[in-house]
Chain A
Amino acid sequence: KQEVTQIPAALSVPEGENLVLNCSFTDSAIYNLQWFRQDPGKGLTSLLLIQSSQREQTSGRLNASLDKSSGRSTLYIAASQPGDSATYLCAVIAGSSNTGKLIFGQGTTLQVKP
Chain B
Amino acid sequence: GAVVSQHPSRVICKSGTSVKIECRSLDFQATTMFWYRQFPKQSLMLMATSNEGSKATYEQGVEKDKFLINHASLTLSTLTVTSAHPEDSSFYICSARADRGRGYTFGSGTRLTVV
A and B, one complex?
A: no
List residues of A whose CB falls within 8 A of some B CB. Answer: none
